[in-house]
């Protein structure tokens, strides 16, 4: 494709002809470098969505590229009948970063959805170990845990669920409030697991109420339930810590990971703590591609790069810088989130317009809800990227605000 209007139309025609119609595509991207990507017409975009919190090191990072090339030339896939040094190294790294202690265990998968499916099976095995014929798995309203049939049951959004009913039984949902949490465990139900995101990304980057995870840990322990944290989006440094739960001073029974774990290479994981590590046994689960040496090698290299460059500190610093920069801009009601997972709350339900205005100016952001913008840039951003984002986002907000300004009555006779 040469970048003409005709070529631009032709890729859209090809997408309509050959790809399943599952959502619109904004551009035909052809390359990336650092925090920027380019489309087929040569337009440059500042990527502040990062593949939806995936590209921790940005695009075409030398460590990523070199690791892929080196490992692909050595050993890429051997199936789960064998172990590899890369897989063993990654499992040990994840245990250390999560603080599982010796009893921790790791299951390596291909995605966050697959990690959450594994967590559902963990909860079922826990119920059987308790001697229960069944036990409720509980998630929160506003949650997003994936779109496969089991994970979808944990994702209480009618537009996602309704075409696929009946869903997995034995799943219920509660409001993300301390009151609803207390009521849940006071109700006498047998609960096998509570599954929560420390920050609900698809709900507009909504943190849980203060003290929620600590109280959830107390109640799940008292009632024999697992506390499973979906850290697919918040994990691997996105919030300025390796995992969001570490800011709460608790120890969960399991966490699920993906997205930033391999900075763009497909990989997911379930990490267990304590007694939960004993629930799976041979034959209960596995994954053909999970933990292959290529994905594992990339994840090890990504973790090492984050550590060597102290990128967690940069995540925290740049996150605070960005939140301060947008405060007071037109249409901005406030910010929320942690590190470089930031929700920008809007005063009006115009997030789709803001996203489109930003895109037209060469800035990629996301509108997960009508009144919130989500940004999740690379951990490597610096002053230049922050300045470019600030000026471009402000211009997009100005444009949208001008369209929604209240009509003036100045000069009109009473």
Active-site residue list: 144, 230, 259
User: What angle do the packed helices 293-308 and 62-72 form, to 10 degrees?
Assistant: 150
Q: Can you state the percent helix, strand and coil of the chain, rounding each to 5?
A: 40, 20, 40
Q: Provide the pairing of β-strand 171-174 with 199-200.
A: unpaired
Q: Do residues 225 and 194 touch, judged by C-beta distance below 8 A?
A: yes
DSSP letter string, 259-288: GGGGTTS--EEEEE-GGGGGS--TTS---S
**Nearest alpha carbon to residue 332 among 323, 319, 341, 321:** 323
| 342-346-350-352 Cα dihedral, nearest 10 degrees | 0
Separation of alpha carbons 70 and 109, rounded Å? 22
CA distances from 257 to 64, 212, 241, 272, 371 (A): 19, 20, 14, 11, 27
Q: Do residues 52 and 376 touch, judged by C-beta distance below 8 A?
A: yes
């Amino acid at each position: 494709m040469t970048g003409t209007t005709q070529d631009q139309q032709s890729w859209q025609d090809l997408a309509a002809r050959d790809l399943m119609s599952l959502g619109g595509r904004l551009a035909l991207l052809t390359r990336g470098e650092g925090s920027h990507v380019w489309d087929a017409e040569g337009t440059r975009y500042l990527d502040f969505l990062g593949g939806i919190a995936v590209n921790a090191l940005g695009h075409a990072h030398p460590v990523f590229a070199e690791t892929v090339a080196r490992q692909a030339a050595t050993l890429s896939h051997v199936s789960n009948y064998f172990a590899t040094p890369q897989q063993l190294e990654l499992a040990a790294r994840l245990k250390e970063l999560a603080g599982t202690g010796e009893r921790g265990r790791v299951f390596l998968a291909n995605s966050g959805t697959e990690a959450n499916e594994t967590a559902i099976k963990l909860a079922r095995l826990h119920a059987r170990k308790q001697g229960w014929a069944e036990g409720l798995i509980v998630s929160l309203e506003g949650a997003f845990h994936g779109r496969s049939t089991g994970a979808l049951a944990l994702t209480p959004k009618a537009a996602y669920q309704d075409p696929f009913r009946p869903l997995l039984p034995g799943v219920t949902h509660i409001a993300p409030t301390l009151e609803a949490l207390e009521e849940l465990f006071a109700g006498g139900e047998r609960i096998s697991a509570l599954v929560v995101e420390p920050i609900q990304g698809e709900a507009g980057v909504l943190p849980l109420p203060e003290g929620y995870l600590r109280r959830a840990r107390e109640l799940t322990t008292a009632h024999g339930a697992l506390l499973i944290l979906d850290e697919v989006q918040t994990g691997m440094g996105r919030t300025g810590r390796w995992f969001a739960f570490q800011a709460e001073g608790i120890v969960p029974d399991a966490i699920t990971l993906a997205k930033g774990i391999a900075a763009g290479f497909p990989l997911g994981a379930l990490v267990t703590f304590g007694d939960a590590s004993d629930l799976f046994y041979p034959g209960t689960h596995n994954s053909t591609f999970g933990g292959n040496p290529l994905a594992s090698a990339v994840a090890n290299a990504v973790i090492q790069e984050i550590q060597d460059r102290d990128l967690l500190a940069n995540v925290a610093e740049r996150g605070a810088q960005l939140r301060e920069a947008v405060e007071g801009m037109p249409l901005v009601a406030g910010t929320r989130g942690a590190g470089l997972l930031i929700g920008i709350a809007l005063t009006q339900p115009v997030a789709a317009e803001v996203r489109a205005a930003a895109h037209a100016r060469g800035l990629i952001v996301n509108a997960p809800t009508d009144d919130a913008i989500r940004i999740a840039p690379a951990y490597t951003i610096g002053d230049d990227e922050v300045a470019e984002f600030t000026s471009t986002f402000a211009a997009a907000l100005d444009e949208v605000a001008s369209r929604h300004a209240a009509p003036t009555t100045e000069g009109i006779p009473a």
